[in-house]
Amino acid sequence: MDHLSTTFATLADPTRRAILARLAVGEATVNELAAPFAMSLPAVSKHLKVLEHAGLITRGREAQWRPCRLEAGPLKEVAGWLEHYRRFWDDSFDRMADYLKEIQTKGDPDGRKN
């Protein structure tokens, strides 16, 4: 799969999105990341492996502490891809606003304003 598809597939899981949201605040250990979830440490570790494979996190090693940190590069690629569609919707809404303004100022066939 290409990087964008891998990132979207990884982000499809709410647990992984929650882990990324936590890591956006700062580094955390597996135990800290697992705390809010009703799942085993091995299950959380599997999520971390998926995030690591997608390049969304890195895991360091500082003595016995293994902090996880957010790597935002793949998210920047997603944001760039989405930007094209944001511009599409902005343009569409601008055209709709122009159209609504036009029909409001024209009035109805009986000569009354809307």
Percent of the chain with pLDDT over 90: 65
Sequence ranges of the domains in the chain: 1-107
Write the DSSP assignment of the chain as a string of letters: --HHHHHHHHHTSHHHHHHHHHHTT--B-HHHHHTTSSS-HHHHHHHHHHHHHTTSEEE--BTTB--EEE--HHHHHHHHHHHHHHHHHHHHHHHHHHHHHHHHHH--TTS---
Mean pLDDT value of segment 51-79 = 91
Model confidence at 63: pLDDT above 80: no
Query: What average pLDDT does the chain have?
Result: 89
Model confidence at 103: pLDDT above 70: yes
Looking at residue 65, what is its pLDDT?
79
pLDDT top residue among 113 and 102? 102
CATH number given to 1-107: 1.10.10.10
Q: Confidence class of residue 13 from pLDDT cuts 50, 70 and 90? A: very high
Question: Which stretch of 22-26, 72-76, 82-86 has the lowest confidence by average pLDDT?
Answer: 82-86
